[in-house]
Amino acid sequence: MKIKITLVEQKGDCPCHRGHRVGDVFDFDADRGKLCPMAMHTLFPMVDILRYGGTLKSDRYCCPDADTINVFQIEKIEE
């Protein structure tokens, strides 16, 4: 199983400090060093829930950067 993380929206006034743009796609395992550490910190618990068979109430989560507010979509991809 893979976890796909896609940047789907940006609500803040400033561009992402890490350089992420809407449409960027990350494989949680293969792209860990590429994803912003603040976003990773927020998304990690949701990734663990999916990996261990749980379900999420939403598939979208925001990074904690109040200037940027990147919205990421998390998907579990069965191989």
Tens of pLDDT, residue by residue over 30-64, are 998 899 999 999 999 999 999 999 999 999 999 99
> Could you report the per-residue pLDDT of 6-33, keeping only the tens digit for each?
999 999 999 999 999 999 999 999 998 8
Helices (H), ranges, the chain: 37-51
CB 74 within 8 A of CB 46: yes
C-alpha of 9 from chain center: 11
Domain around 72? 2-77
Domain count, the chain: 1
The pLDDT, as a whole number, for residue 76 is 93
42: its two tokens: 């927020």
pTM: 0.92
pLDDT-derived band at 69 (thresholds 50, 70, 90) equals: very high
The pLDDT, as a whole number, for residue 67 is 93
